[in-house]
Amino acid sequence: MSWTIDQAGKQDGRVAIVTGANIGLGLNTALQLAGKGCRVVLACRNLDKAAAAKAEILQQLPKAKVECLQLDLGSLKSVRAFAEKFSAKHKRLDLLINNAGIMMPPYSLSEDGFESQLAANYLGHFALTGLLLPLLEQTPGSRVVSLSSLAHNWSGMRFDDLQFSKGYNKRKAYGQSKFACLMFAYELNRRLQKTGSKTLSVAAHPGVSATNLAQHFPRILSAFMPVFGQSAADGALPTLYAALGEDIQGGDYCGPKNLQQMRGAPVKVGSNRASRDEAAAKKLWTVSEELTGVSFLS
Ligand SMILES: NC(=O)c1ccc[n+]([C@@H]2O[C@H](COP(=O)([O-])OP(=O)(O)OC[C@H]3O[C@@H](n4cnc5c(N)ncnc54)[C@H](OP(=O)(O)O)[C@@H]3O)[C@@H](O)[C@H]2O)c1
């Protein structure tokens, strides 16, 4: 039997952060978590959009406990400010949903000098997780969910030119960033287990979901997304399964079960061999610590 949101227990008293929660998969994830009674912090780069998302959630769930807090994952300064503000206000963090992302934009560097997809999709989340880890570890049953993609197959880590300084390939850069998210999820879990931590690190991908993520696609392709892609509500289910599923273990990867993982009910899925390369994952961790200045579990 496939997992459905009805199988998730009540989440009253628990606290979740969902990054990029103003639209798409993040909004649907936040809505379902709030519906289960979780207090949800919408971590968004634009507070007006976050407020609109909060209003949308409250319209459907008038008793939902929802907060907005500014977070730009493309800025390490913003990531640090977010973690400080959140930690000052909250004494627990049950679920960190590293969801926000961008796909195949024109080449640009973040304010810290990183290729924009590596910055927002991966390095910002690496730093955020490290800064929030003390709070996660003091919260029983806590989980970190990292969003990867079928696109993790499009590229490995290009350690000799992570920032695509010599010829930008937007598809490979997206693939690299999502590959990094997956490698990070697995390596984080190995490191947590080694220290005896009870916090779980898991990964998820939504298959193909019709969202705003396709905004940089050629118009003809983005027009077909609603035809091939599943809804954002269905696309959020693997994330919710990873976050709430009772049979989930650290290091699991969840995605849709049908059409070569492009759509369907959420199940545990596999990933390519390269994503399981522990030596490369260690190297990625060290490089990520150097680039972000955030060190943890090392
Ligand atoms: N849709 C799919 O088929 C698909 C497939 C595989 C993986 N994924 C992954 O699923 C995740 C969610 O994507 P989606 O499909 O829901 O896309 P989406 O509708 O475009 O939503 C992306 C979210 O990320 C936010 N975001 C982007 N850059 C950010 C930054 N620098 N700081 C903070 N927030 C930022 C966006 O904020 P703004 O609204 O302000 O731009 C938006 O809230 C991504 O990690 C994506 O890689 C999606």
- Would you say the CB of residue 18 lies under 6 angstroms from ligand 1? no
Q: Look at residue 2 in the predicted model and tell me its pLDDT.
A: 82
* pLDDT value at residue 220: 67
* Percent of the chain residues topping a pLDDT of 90: 92
pLDDT in tens, 199-256: 999 999 999 998 888 777 777 667 777 777 899 999 999 999 999 999 999 999 999 9
- Domain range summary for the chain, segments of one domain joined by +: 12-292
Gap between the Cα atoms of 92 and 49, Å rounded: 25
Distances (CA, A) of 119 to 60, 82, 116, 162, 170: 33, 16, 5, 11, 14
Which ranges of the chain have pLDDT less than 50? none
For atom 43 of ligand 1, which residue has the closest CA? 20
Burial (CB count within 10 angstroms: exposed 0-12, middle 13-18, buried 19+), residue 51: middle
Strand partners, 254: 204, 268
Strand partners, 263: 258
Cα 292 to averaged position of ligand 1 atoms, centre (Å): 21
Ligand 1 pocket check for 46: Cβ under 6 Å: yes
Q: Contact at 8 Å (CB) between 23 and 47?
A: no
Q: Could you confirm whether 122 is annotated as catalytic?
A: no
Q: What is the pLDDT of residue 210?
A: 87
What pLDDT score was predicted for residue 227? Answer: 73
Q: Find out whether 261 and 205 touch, Cβ atoms under 8 Å.
A: yes
CA 3–ligand 1 middle distance (angstroms): 24
Choosing from 107, 122, 168, 174, which is the catalytic residue? Answer: 174
CATH topology of domain 12-292: Rossmann fold (3.40.50)
